[in-house]
Each structure stands twice: as C-alpha cells, then as structure tokens.
Amino acid sequence: MIAAVKGWHAVLAAVWILVPARAWAADDVAGAARELAAKTALFTGAGATISASYRNLSSLGPVQLEQARAGYEAALRQMGMRLGDGGTVEAQISLSENGSQYLLIADLRKGDDRQVAMVEIARWKGGPGAKPTDSAAWIERKVVWEQEEQVLDAAFPGDAMVLLAPSGVGIYAKHGEQWELRQVLSISSSRPWPRDLRGHLSFQGATFRAFLPGVTCGGATEPEPRMECHAGEYPWSVESAGGAGMSAYFAPGRNYFDGRLSIENPAIHNGPPFYSAAATGDPRQPVWLLALVNGKAQVVDGGFNVLAEIPGWGSDVASIETRCGKGNQVLATQPSDAGDTDAVQSYIWKDRSMAAATPAAIFPGPVTALWARGGSAVAVARDLETGKYVVYVLTVACGL
C-alpha cells in the first residue's frame, strides 16, 4: 500500500497529515517546520530538489533555528523531496517574529515564480530564572518567588508562604524545595485599585490581616485557609522590629499614609503624609523614621518631635533586627524612577543622624514594596528585564 503512494499522492498525503485543519499557530518550532515543509511541497510539486538557506531574524536562539532546519528538511525528505545545492527551487527560510507570535517563513523561488509561505508559532511563556543573589553584599538577598502579577507583600508564617497580590491572598506550602499553591483567597474592590497599588500583611500566628487601600481583610492560614474582607477606612498595622508598633491610616485612592498615626496607644497624631515608617535605635525607646511624601525622611521620637531630616532617600523604609551594633537598623530604598534599577541600603541611628551600616544592595528594577518582618525584611522588585515581580527576603549579614 505504502509503495503505491507515489509522487503527487505522496505529497498530498503528507500535506493532509502535516497541515492542521484550522489556521492556528503551531505549538513549537518543529511542528511549524513540518507545516512549512508541507506548504513548500504544494509549491514545488513532487520530487523537486530544494536549495534551502536559513536565517534568524527573531530573538530566539540558534537552537530554535536548528530545530526549524532539522524539522523542515526531515519533513521534506519524508515527502519525497531532495535537498541540495543547485536545486530547481530556492527556499530562503527565515525565523522571524512580531509582537504576538514567532513566524517561520519560506520565501520560495522556482524560475520566475515566487511564493511566500508562513506558519505562526505561539509565543511560549517563561523568562529567565531569578537573578542570582549578590554574595558580596552585606545585605543578603534571597529570592523566594517571582510572578507576573504584582506582589504587594509576602509573609512566612510557620511553614507557609503567603503572598498578597491585587487579586487576592495566595497561600503556599513547601514541597521539597518548591513552593506549591495551596489556595487563593480572592479580594475584590468596588472601586478601581489606585495606580502604584500598595498592600500589607500583618500576622499573628496563623491569623492575618491584609490591608489594601479602602479594603481590610481578616483571615487565617490554618486549619483551613479562610478570609473575609470589608470595605472601609481602617488603620494599617505598620509593624516594626523589636516589638514597637505603629498604626496609620492609608489615604484612599492614593499610595501614601495620610499622616494620621498612633504609636503604642490609641491617641491619634496628625503629621505630614508619608509613604512608609520604620523604628530604629534602642528597641525600648525607638526613634521613628518616616519617608515623607515630599521626598525627605524625617526622624521623630515617641512624642513626634522632629530629631532630624534626611534628603535623598527613596520612598520605602523598613526596620530590621540585626546582631550587629546596638539597636535595629533601617533598610531604605534609593531615589530612582520607574525604569531604573534600585538599591536598598541599611542605616543605623547614631549621633542624631542616620549612618550607613552596609553597602547598597542592587536590585534589577524598582523596589515596589519593602516591609519589616522582624529579623528580616521582604522586598519586592519589578525585574526590568522580565517584567516579573521578584520577592526577596533580606537579612543583614554583619560580618561579625
């Protein structure tokens, strides 16, 4: 039977098998190459000798071009074509791309006849892995997660990882070295989230509160994940290292705290609006550092007396407990723009000024969240290369 299928019949039989009935994109380069070979066969006719050349105009690598070549030539041979120099048909094969697809294109010439055939290849997802940590840095960065959706905060209660994202709270369990999603608890808002959305997680054991502008959620990760959300204006817990606690009101529809805050007591103080706050110095009598909306950082004592003003810091600060020196340190981002890389540096309150305690640790994009977690801090950076949000756990390795 097979021997009887010759010439045009062979070509048509192959085309029948290799060209999908519907015109959608091939899943991979090899599949696209087979499909392109079938289209080539329709142009050349049976038994043609084809001189093929290849070039890569896409961002794909030589491996994919080689896959295309091997797949194309194997399929042509399968259809009874010959490949070699001086063939009657010239095929210039290009691996190209546009904004949504890769394209495998055959520019076919037989004498004065010219035909162009092309096959689309679906763009696959997945970028390069997380950047390696900078082992020379005094601030140690450990990449724990990365994803497409923005991460607003992350916490690690018990053996779990909890991520706060605009769409909800994700609870992850560790299996071996991998975090696996256990459950997503959705959050919705009646109003659009602000641009530069911010959010914060506050944990006590397995119970948590998730703060977002205009929405506060309460829930638990154990025994079964659960969460309930309420619209309204509630003060956020802006935790700090060493047990000092601050509550502050977040301005609805904005990206900053409106200036109303309380420290360790219910009386509300009205101060200037700020982006973030951190305690530093002696944990029994901490001073507070507020990253103000006007671009300056202000150091205040427990009575909100201004002790110092520091220009040139970024918008996010967080306390971190360390074993180096006395008291807690403050991690601070640097002033930068949305398209820039960023850096976090650790400072200590000393002689009524903030002194740098570590060199700056560089991040592959802007740090979009920085929250205290006791002996560590969580930083989220948007990797400028991949566009993904990378979650880091930061600790200060003091070299002692």
Partner 1 sequence: MCSRWLAVYSLLALAGLPLAQAATRPRYGGVLRVEIRENIESVDPPDSGTGLADLMGAFSITRWEAGLRATYAADNNAPGGRPFVDAVEVRMGRPLRDQSIDLEVGKADVIELGAGESRRGAAGRKIWMSAPVRIVALVFGPRVEDARIREGLALAVDRTAILNVLLQRQGEISGALLPQWISGYAFLFQPAADLGRARTLIAAAPPGARNLSLGVEDGGLRAMADRVALNARDAGLTVTTAPQGNAGDVRLVDAQVASSDPARALAGIAAALGLIVPARMENAEAVYNAERAVLEGFRVVPLFHLPDVYGAGPRVRGAAGISPLGQWKFGNVWLEGDRP
Q: Which residues bind partner 1 (CB under 8 A)?
A: 23, 57-59, 94, 96-103, 105, 107, 116-118, 120, 150, 191-197, 251, 253-256, 273, 275, 293-295, 314-316, 333-340, 342, 366-369, 382, 384, 387, 389
Cβ at position 244, least distance to partner 1 in Å: 23
Q: Which is nearer to partner 1, 10 or 106 (CB)?
A: 106
Q: What is the DSSP string of 174-228?
A: EETTEEEEEEEEE---SSPPPSS---EEEEETTEEEEEETTEEEEEESSSS-EEE
**362-372 residues labelled b (16+ CB within 10 A) or e (exposed):** bbbbbbbbbbb
Q: Which is nearer to partner 1, 328 or 334 (CB)?
A: 334
Q: Which is nearer to partner 1, 166 or 218 (CB)?
A: 166
Cβ at position 50, least distance to partner 1 in Å: 18
Q: What is the DSSP string of 266-335?
A: SPPEE---EEEEEEEB-TTS-EEEEEETTS-EEEE-TT--EEEEE-S--S-EEEE--SSSSSBEEEEE--
Cβ at position 256, least distance to partner 1 in Å: 7
Cβ at position 131, least distance to partner 1 in Å: 16
Q: Which is nearer to partner 1, 67 or 368 (CB)?
A: 368
Instruction: Please report where in the chains the tokens 């103080």 appear, as a residue.
Output: 269
Cβ at position 281, least distance to partner 1 in Å: 24
φ and ψ at 14, to 5 degrees? -65, -45
- Taking a C-beta distance cutoff of 8 angstroms, is the pair 256, 293 a contact? yes
Tokens of 216: 């506060």
Q: Which is nearer to partner 1, 56 or 78 (CB)?
A: 56
Cβ at position 31, least distance to partner 1 in Å: 15
Q: Identify the three-state secondary structure at position 29.
A: helix
Nearest Cα to Cα of residue 68 among 41, 99, 42, 92? 92
Q: Which amino acid is at 339?
A: G
Q: Which is nearer to partner 1, 89 or 160 (CB)?
A: 89
Cβ at position 291, least distance to partner 1 in Å: 8
Q: Which is nearer to partner 1, 111 or 339 (CB)?
A: 339
Peptide bond into 223 cis (omega under 30): yes
